[in-house]
Amino acid sequence: MVQIFRAEWEKIFGNRFMAAFLIWIYPVGTITMLGLTALAVLLSETGRTAVRLQPPTWIEQMMLTWSIVNSEIGRLFVVALAAQVFAAEYQHSMWKNLLPRRPRLHLFLNKFVVLGVIVLLAFVSMSLIAGVGSGLVVGLAGGQYGPAITPALLEDVLPVLANEALVAFLAALVATCYAALACVLTHSVVMATLSALLITVGEQIIPVILLWLGQLANNPDLSRATLIFPGYNLGNIAAWGRSGAGYQPPFLHSLGVEAPAAADSLLVVIVWLAILIGLAAWHFQRQDIAH
Amino acid sequence: MAAVAIEVQGIRKQFGTGKRQIKAVDDLTLTVAAGQVYGFLGPNGAGKTTTIRIILDLIRPTQGAVRLFGQPVRQNNRLLRRVGALVEGATCYPYLTGRKNLEVLARSGGYFEPGRIQSLLELVGMADRADRPTRGYSTGMKQRLGVAAALLGDPDLVILDEPTNGLDPAGMQDMRALIRRLVDEQGRTVFLSSHMLNEVEQICDRVAIINRGRVIREGDVKALLTEKTRLRIEAEPLPAAMACLQPHWTARADGDAAFYLDAGREQAPQIVQRLAASGIQVYQVTLQRQTLEEFFLQATQEGA
C-alpha cells in the first residue's frame, strides 16, 4: 500500500503547476499574507500602532484559517485539486496502463486517501504558519502576542481547533467525492470542477429550496429534510464545537426542530461519504476504459 | 507455464444502443499458445483494439469470456499482473520524466526496482533521454517508453498494439529483434497487433486476421502463405504460351516476357511439358509464394 500511495503522491506533486496552485497555495499563500502584513508593519507607524493596540491572538489566527478553508472559496481549491487528480487518468489516457497492474478499487480509493492526507497536511500547515507567523508580526510591531499557552488553556482550545479541523476535513472530503463522481461520469477536469462546484454551492441553497417547496405544497415540514444533507450537518458539528449548542436556523426553530447532537450529525456525514464514494467506485468498477 | 496463454471464446461487444449501436467485436474466438509471437491483423475498425482491451479487462464484453493461462480474466488482477501491454499508442504523464513515468507505473503495480527501470530504459534505447519530461518526446520515444512500461512487471504475456508506430527504420528493426528475443530467449508470449504486414511476416509464428469483429483466417504464418502459390514463367512467344495454358490454369501477364500462373510446385513439370510440346521456348520457371500483404488483402476482400 505504501508503493501505491507513493505513486499517487509523486503524480500529484510531479504536476508542479497543479501542486503550486492547488496545494502549496495554502502554506505559501499564508506566508505571503504574513509577509505583506509584516512589510506594512515595518513600513507604517499606523500599522504598527494598530497591531500594538489590538494584537490578534494565536487562537483567532488559527481559527481564522479553518474558516477560510471551510468557505466556498476555500473549497473551490479542494474541488479543483480533486477534479485534476481523478480526471488526470482520463485526460492522459492512463487508466489503460494502470488498471492491469492493480484492482480498480485499490487505485480509485487510493486517490481519496492521498487527497485526504494532502488536504489535511495543507490545512494544518496553514493553521500552524498563521498561528506562529502572526506572533512574529505582532513582535515586529512591539505588541504582546497571547494568550500565554497553559495546560488549562490548551485543554479548552485544542478540542475547538480539532473540531474545526474535523469539519474542514470532512467538508473537503465531501467536495472531493462530488468531484470524483463528476470525473467518473464526465471524464473531464473542467466539467468535473464545474459540476462539483455547482453541487457544493447548490447544497447551501437547499434549505431555501425546501422552504419554498414547503410553502408551495403547504407543507412546512418539508424543511425538516434539511437535516439529512451534509451541508447542514457540517454546520451543526461546527456550531457544537464553537458554542456548545447545535445549529438551529430560524426556519427549523419555527418548526420546533431541535438541532441534532454532534455525534448524530457526524454519522450523517459519514453515511453521505460512504454513499458518495461507493457510488463513484461502483460506477468506475463497471466502466469501459475505451480511450 | 500453461500451454495456452490466451483463450478468447465467442466474445461480442456492442457500443451504443438502437440505431447508434456499433458491433465492434462479433463472436470472436481465438487461442494463442504460450511461447510464440502471435500476430493479430485486421483493417482499421476491424475490432483489434477492442479485443485487446477486452483481453486486458479494460472493457467488459457484451457476451463471451476471456481466459489467460487457463483462468478467467474478469476482475482477476493477480492474473493480469502476468500481462504487460502497450495499447493503442503509448501514453504517459506529460509533466513527468520518462523515468518517473516508469517509476509511478512500477509503484502502482507494487514492483518498483530502480535497477530494473534503468535496464529497461537501456533495453529500449531511452536511457540517455529518460530524465526529460515526456511532453517533449516524439511519438517514437513515447512508443519505446510504452514498451518499457509493458515489460516493467516481468510479464509472461506481452500485448503490443502497433509497437513500431512512429519509430524510424533502425528503431523498427530493434523492436522486431526485441520482440523475437522476448520469445526465443526469455520464453514469453507476445500478442502483436500491427499494420506493418512485412513486420508481422518476419517475426510472427502464427497470425489471426480479423474483419468486422470476426476472425476470418487463422494459422501458422508459413502454412498460410504457402497455401496459395503461383509460378512465374518466362517463355517465348508469350501470347502463345499463355493461350496454351489458360484452358487449365489462370494466367496473368507480367510485362512482355513473363506471366504468372496460379499453380503449385507439383504442377511445374506438366506445365513445362505442355509448353515444350507446343514448341514454346521456356527460359525460366520460378515458384512464388504469396506475401502476407497479398494474403491479407485477399482474405479481407473475401471477408467483405
The answer on B273 and B252 residing in a single domain is: yes
* B42 and B130 belong to one structural domain: yes
Mark whether B282 and B180 lie in a shared domain.
Answer: no
Indicate yes or no: CB of A101 within 8 angstroms of CB of B153.
yes
Task: Give B-chain residues touching A101 at CB under 8 angstroms.
Answer: 80-81, 105, 108-110, 153
Using CA coordinates, name the residue in chain A closest to B59. Answer: A288
Helices (H) and strands (E) counted in chain B, each on its own, are 11, 14
**Statement to judge: residues B53 and B134 lie in one domain:** yes
| Together in a domain, B263 and B205 | no
Among residues B173, B207, B224, the one where a domain terminates is B224
Residue A214 pLDDT: 86
Bond into B237 cis (ω within 30): yes
**Last residue of a domain, which of B194, B224, B254?**
B224
Contact B38, B191 (CB under 8 A): yes
- Residues 6 or more apart whose CB falls under 8 angstroms from that of B250 comprise B261, B262
> Closest residue of A to B97, CA-based?
A14
Of A4, A15, A100, the CB nearest to B107: A4
Among the listed residues A242, A189, A188, the one whose alpha carbon sits nearest the alpha carbon of residue A70:
A242
Residue B4: enclosing H or E segment and its boundaries? Answer: strand B4-15
Q: B89 and B238 share a domain?
A: no
Same domain, B233 and B219: no
Number of independent structural domains in chain B: 2
How far A17 CA sits from the closest chain B CA (Å)? 9
pLDDT 10s digit of each residue in chain B, 304 long?
Answer: 458 999 999 999 998 888 888 889 999 999 999 999 999 999 888 899 999 999 999 999 999 999 999 999 988 888 999 999 999 989 999 999 999 999 999 999 999 999 999 999 999 999 999 999 999 999 999 999 999 999 999 999 999 999 998 889 999 999 999 999 999 999 999 999 988 888 888 899 999 999 989 998 899 988 887 777 889 999 999 999 999 999 899 899 998 889 999 888 889 999 999 999 999 999 999 998 877 888 888 888 775 5
Q: Which residues of B fall within a CB distance of 8 Å from A88?
A: 93
B210 in the same domain as B127: yes
HSE value, Cβ hemisphere, 13 Å, CA-based, for B102: 31
Domain harbouring B14, CATH code:
3.40.50.300
How many other CB atoms sit within 10 Å of the CB of residue A270?
A: 14
Complex ipTM over 0.90: no
Strand partners, B38: B191, B206
Q: Chain A residue closest to B76 (CA)?
A: A103
Listed residue (A99, A277, A265) closest to A183, CA to CA? A277
Give yes or no for A283 touching B (CB within 8 A): no
Question: Cβ A7–B108 below 8 Å, yes or no?
Answer: yes
Indicate whether B71 and B107 sit together in one domain: yes
Q: Kindly list the residues from chain B whose CB atom is less than 8 angstroms away from the CB atom of residue A97.
A: 87, 91, 105, 149
Q: How far apart are the first and last CA of chain A?
A: 27
- Residues B147, B60: one domain? yes
In CATH, what number is assigned to the domain containing residue B283?
3.30.70.120
Of B178, B201, B224, the position where a domain reaches its end is B224
User: Which B positions 79-108 lie with beta carbon below 8 A of chain A?
Assistant: 80-81, 83-85, 87-88, 91-96, 100, 103-105, 107-108
Q: Which domain holds residue B58?
A: 4-224
Residue among B160, B293, B163 nearest B224 (CA): B293
Integer Cα distance of B263 and B271 in angstroms = 9
C-alpha count within 13 angstroms, C-beta hemisphere, residue A120: 13
Residue A290: its chain B contacts at CB < 8 A? 15, 50, 53, 58-59
Q: Which of residues 114-153 of B touch A (CB under 8 A)?
A: 149, 153
Q: Are B56 and A100 in contact (CB < 8 Å)?
A: yes
